Structure 1
């Protein structure tokens, strides 16, 4: 591969908005393992929040996708491939980026809403406990800020 072709491929990968309109690959080999990437991402995104048991799986998937992306990019940077293979690598890297973007969007927003819901539940339990401890019988009315 010629130097200008290599630079052109690298520029495509690093272009802002490269993932706009890009598809998440249906299947991809990540760290030597075949993954139904599109199905995995859609399955996770379909839920409102990522269950605690799935969070570890999602984090592991993101870590493996980042590692795979870096390895594919390195092959282009090192000039280990011809231009046609470089083109395929660029398309797969952009697809990985698209999947990572989709998975990253799940993170903080869902964690924040889960934390808020947990805090509200804790507050409610605490108020119920205080009412019972202080001998208040009617707990059906919302007495926000009062006992």
Structure 2
């Protein structure tokens, strides 16, 4: 493959919007293991949120897809391959990106963590309200003692 072709392929896989109109591959081999990628993504996306039992599986799949994407991109960058092989790798990378986008757009993955964050935010708002109501807002507590400044 010529250097300008290599650069074109790399630009194509990094292009914003490269996944528009691209289908998720039916299956993909990741680290020697066949994954029915399209069926997996479809199954997970049918739900509003990821059930607690599936969280680890989804996170591991995303991690494996990212690793596979990086390995395939490095093959385009570094290996002496034909342009046709490079095109196949680029198409696979774009398909992986499409699957990752679909998995990243899922509803809240960790409902417990989200509920905890919401409770912390509520407590902060409540404390801020109480401080203001009692005349202890942050501006008046940083100066000299209350009523002592002239």
Give the secondary structure class of the aligned counterpart of 1:110.
Answer: coil
Q: How many residues align?
A: 117
Q: Which has the larger radius of gyration?
A: 2
Partner residue, 1:29 = 29
CA-based RMSD: 1.9
Partner residue, 1:68 = 68
1:36-88: CA deviations, max 9, x gaps? Answer: 00000000000111111100000000000000000000000003311000000
CA distance in 2, matches of 1:112, 1:54: 11
Give the secondary structure class of the aligned counterpart of 1:26.
Answer: coil
TM-score, with length taken from structure 1? 0.74
Q: Relative to 1, partners in 2 of residues 1:113 and 1:59: Cα closer, same or farther, differing over 3 Å?
A: closer
Partner residue, 1:92 = 92
Q: Relative to 1, partners in 2 of residues 1:35 and 1:111: Cα closer, same or farther, differing over 3 Å?
A: closer
Structure 1 portions without partners, runs of 5+: 121-147
Structure 2 portions without partners, runs of 5+: 120-150
Shift of 1:31: 1.3
Q: Is residue 2:13 matched to residue 1:10? A: no
CA distance in 2, matches of 1:67, 1:112: 23
CA distance in 2, matches of 1:69, 1:80: 18
Contact persistence 2:24–2:38 (CA under 8 A): yes
CA distance in 2, matches of 1:53, 1:80: 43
CA distance in 1, matches of 2:91, 2:31: 17
Contact persistence 2:52–2:110 (CA under 8 A): no
Q: Is residue 2:108 matched to residue 1:110? A: yes
Partner residue, 2:56 = 56
Q: Relative to 1, partners in 2 of residues 1:112 and 1:32: Cα closer, same or farther, differing over 3 Å?
A: closer
Contact persistence 1:6–1:79 (CA under 8 A): no
Name segments (4+ residues, structure 1) moved above 3 Å: 111-117
